[in-house]
Structure 1
Amino acid sequence: MGDFQLSEMQKEYWNHADHRWNVKTGATGSGKTYLDFYMVPRRIRSCTGAGLIVLLGNTKSTLQRNILDPMRDIYGSGLVSEISNDNTVHLFGRKAYCLGADKVNQVSKIQGATIEYAYGDEVTTWNREVFEMLKSRLRCKNSLFDGTCNPDGPKHFFKQFLDSDADIFQQKYTIDDNPFLPEEFVTELKKEYAGTVYYDRYIKGNWTRAEGLLFPQFAADPQRWNISYEDAKRLPVSQVFLGIDIGGTKSHSTFVATGIVGNYQKQIRLYAKILKHSKGTVDPDRLYETYDDFQKEFKALYPAFPITKAYVDNEAQMIENGLRSFSRQKGYYTSIDDCKKVEFNERTLAYNFIFNTDKFMIVSEYCPDVIESLSTMVYADEDEDSLLDDYSTDVDTYDADFYSWSRHMDYFYMRARYGR
């Protein structure tokens, strides 16, 4: 095993993970994946050729980032190649298949195959049918699986499998099971997830049900992130992004302007507005007029902060195209583009991250609807992580708020998460 250091949990896995299913669950940063940079080569070199070698992740890109890139840094490109166009990669002299497991159409790629060794990254993000198909493909006498994941809800299909009587070697990690992490890093990580369901999942390693408020820390004290209008005008705001959620048959249209402070150090909500549609209908002309009013009102409030981009709900392409033409005719130098849609859990994590790391600010007097919306977003039910959207809360403002910065969340959240 060389001179590399392992924690007690990692040593236990190395010595005893010899079952058909071998799974490490628990906290982020706890060392679950690090061991696999050495376990995967060991498994592959033990394969007899009786079946395929398959690596699965949420997507091929996450598999590349989480597993293949770090292994290539350790062993070099001669032993760990790039993923080719046919979804194969050469690993330690063997051919392996690399597949995303987030969509049901991925099932066809392993249907009918016999798999000798399978590695699974981020298993709780997989489509259930992909996992069910995998179970039937591990049909060699020596077939086995190594997998890692962060916990999800206690009713998640993978949790139900782990609680079954299958031949499973299972470990649960907490953040404190990794003795090699700097104390400052652990402190900051705990702070980032504080007050949320993700603290139980990603720090304590528990399969915890999501319930109640999405952002309890914000709801408890929204004034913590407030900044006065006068102070806001003095900030070094480099860009302003406008999020627009176009209402449907039962909802309203909403506008939220977010300023980027410096080189993406922080973000600030500067101004918000709601267009209430009569009888639930969407009148494009009224929408364009409200956009015009918003531009004028914003300029009057913040003459030094031009709105550089507007991100629009991309389910209303005709209205978006009309808004683009209207904006040009009015002489606004605002680039209008589709918003970026993000999965529920990733979106919720991103918000909690900017709250807990104080990257968020808001001019409360001009954004009362944003405060109300963020304070009242709740989980839908106990069975799965999803947003309650029954018109009892202002989801429209919540969507517009997220659209205003979702295309740039890499700077605020993703780079911090994956670039530690």
Structure 2
Amino acid sequence: MSMNDLLTTKQQEVLHSYLADDYKMMILTGAIRSGKTFIDNLLFLYELRRTAESAKKRGKIHPQYILAGASSGSIQNNVINSLRNQFGIELSPDRHNHFHLYGVDIIPVYTQSIRGLSGARGFDSNGAYINEASLANQFVFQEILNRCSEPGARIICDTNPDQPQHFLKTDYIDNEKPGLKTKSFRFTIDDNTFLASDYIQQIKAATPTGMFYDRNILGLWVSGEGLVYRDFDERTMTIKREDLPDNLTYTAGIDWGFDHPTAIEVIGHDSNGNYYLVDEAYGQFEQVDPHWIKVAERFKKKYGMGLTFFADTARTEHISNFRQHHIKTEYGYKNVLDGIERVASIIKQHKFYVVNGAAPNFINEIYQYIWDEKTGAPVKENDHAQDAVRYCIATPLWKEEQARKQNKNRQRSTGYLNDLGLV
């Protein structure tokens, strides 16, 4: 078996640099499914072996190494499970939640919020592997670098691109100061030559035009520009009410108003993954709860008494009031960019339709819903119906995805217990 059977050309380039070049930090950045995390997981194993050998030469009996990720779940999914599936290496946490391999104490650090600082303090590390580095809080990221003070300590990172003013891009990837000794590699989805060509074409076809395509497919650090939903075409994505499919399942999304309008959008979806925006309520009223409770009850009578409302969590008192009136209301999924990407992907695949005349405020907003190039987020204007639609579509999809992951993990755990004869 040759190296070409094991690693892509891009991965071999990274491995060669790892073995031959002088650097302090190596950053792999780029597209989804491009193979960067696989090779970084391999380099992580190399780093642990290198740490063990260095510690032995220096008479260190308890070498430590940082394994960092956005959360415990992301470390488990992206690194621990991948090591098991890809290399057959089983890592189980001890009572301190540390891992151990090759005699190295592997210390997890969670980087998504400032709370991760506590896990990164009080010890010297032989290096760090930072997964999903662009999601890291900058102060936690810097503290990890500060901890890597043992002789020869190095940092390896992998990440998807973010907006071009992100600290990882400006302070490390683009920073050419010699003392930093940073090596970086950009991956595109086409670099993963182990993926089937029809699968790659499918992902490209489903990825929204603009920022998401540039980041997820081409691996570029870009800001959004222009319309958020650039692929929406009113000419081809409207439908007459009488042409709606039968047996649609209906849900609703709510964006609560405070000093702006409240929006409720009702969407039906079918078993083929198509979504139909069928109704809307929009406006500002002084008597917020009485008015919108009446609207919700009207929608329940029209679309089914079990209609679920996925609501903005900024006004939890309204959610509580809805529930007290027996209106089924759940917290909406609040990850804005991920939610937008889910909706935009459905639009890109031409699986989103609006009933003629049913949602005039949504139609009005969508042509004014634009990216803020400075922040990389949507401008907080003309977004009320857009937010409501996002809650309605993205929340169930996210919940289904989490349920599949939990079920997969349960099946895997049961399999291990069976192998050990414990069940």
TM-score by length of 2: 0.84
How far does residue 312 in structure 1 lie from its aligned partner after superposition? 2.5
How far does residue 415 in structure 1 lie from its aligned partner after superposition? 9.6
Kept in 2, the 8 Å contact 1:87–1:99? The answer is no
Distance 1:130 1:183, change over 3 A: same
Is residue 122 of structure 2 the alignment partner of residue 131 of structure 1? Answer: no
Task: Name the CA distance, whole Å, in 2 between partners of 1:87 and 1:99.
Answer: 10
Q: Which of the numbers 363, 388, 394 marks the counterpart of 2:379?
A: 388
The aligned counterpart of 1:286 is 291
AA of the residue aligned to 2:266? A
Kept in 1, the 8 Å contact 2:109–2:120? The answer is no
**Secondary structure, aligned partner of 1:285:** helix
Is residue 362 of structure 2 the alignment partner of residue 370 of structure 1? Answer: yes
Q: Which of the numbers 266, 269, 274 marks the counterpart of 1:266?
A: 274
Distance 1:345 1:312, change over 3 A: closer
How far does residue 276 in structure 1 lie from its aligned partner after superposition? 2.4
Kept in 2, the 8 Å contact 1:370–1:398? The answer is yes
Task: Name the CA distance, whole Å, in 2 between partners of 1:225 and 1:88.
Answer: 52
Task: Name the CA distance, whole Å, in 1 between partners of 2:402 and 2:203.
Answer: 14
Q: Which of the numbers 99, 107, 110 marks the counterpart of 1:89?
A: 99
How far does residue 85 in structure 1 lie from its aligned partner after superposition? 6.1
Q: Deviations over 1:89-137 (max 9, x none)?
A: 2345533122321101101211232111211111111111111112212
Kept in 1, the 8 Å contact 2:261–2:284? The answer is yes
Q: Which of the numbers 375, 389, 399 marks the counterpart of 1:401?
A: 389
Kept in 2, the 8 Å contact 1:246–1:252? The answer is yes
Q: Deviations over 1:152-210 (max 9, x none)?
A: 22211000122222111211122222222211111122222242212222222222122
Task: Name the CA distance, whole Å, in 1 between partners of 2:14 and 2:25.
Answer: 12
Is residue 354 of structure 2 the alignment partner of residue 349 of structure 1? Answer: no
Task: Name the CA distance, whole Å, in 1 between partners of 2:399 and 2:250.
Answer: 15
Counterparts in 2 of 1:219-238, with a 5 A limit? 221-232=233-244, 234-237=245-248
The aligned counterpart of 1:320 is 319
Q: Deviations over 1:264-293 (max 9, x none)?
A: 72332221111322xxx4532222223233
Identity of aligned residues (%): 22
Distance 1:31 1:74, change over 3 A: closer
Q: Which moved more, 1:239-248 or 1:315-324?
A: 315-324
Task: Name the CA distance, whole Å, in 2 between partners of 1:257 and 1:42.
Answer: 52
Q: Deviations over 1:4-61 (max 9, x none)?
A: 5212221121121252101111122221112123222121111134652111122221
AA of the residue aligned to 1:129? F
Kept in 2, the 8 Å contact 1:28–1:150? The answer is yes
Kept in 2, the 8 Å contact 1:240–1:307? The answer is no
Task: Name the CA distance, whole Å, in 2 between partners of 1:32 and 1:243.
Answer: 36
Distance 1:184 1:416, change over 3 A: farther
**Secondary structure, aligned partner of 1:72:** helix
Q: CA RMSD in A?
A: 2.6
The aligned counterpart of 2:333 is 340
Q: Deviations over 1:229-273 (max 9, x none)?
A: 1121x3332x3212122211x1122111122312x7233222111
Task: Name the CA distance, whole Å, in 2 between partners of 1:206 and 1:86.
Answer: 38
The aligned counterpart of 1:163 is 174
Task: Name the CA distance, whole Å, in 1 between partners of 2:215 and 2:333.
Answer: 26
Q: Which of the numbers 91, 94, 99 marks the counterpart of 2:109?
A: 99
The aligned counterpart of 1:33 is 37
TM-score by length of 1: 0.85
The aligned counterpart of 2:193 is 179
How far does residue 357 in structure 1 lie from its aligned partner after superposition? 2.5
AA of the residue aligned to 1:15? H
Is residue 157 of structure 2 the alignment partner of residue 147 of structure 1? Answer: yes
Gaps of 5+ in 1: 329-333
Distance 1:207 1:257, change over 3 A: same
How far does residue 83 in structure 1 lie from its aligned partner after superposition? 4.3
Task: Name the CA distance, whole Å, in 1 between partners of 2:287 and 2:257.
Answer: 7
**Secondary structure, aligned partner of 2:165:** coil
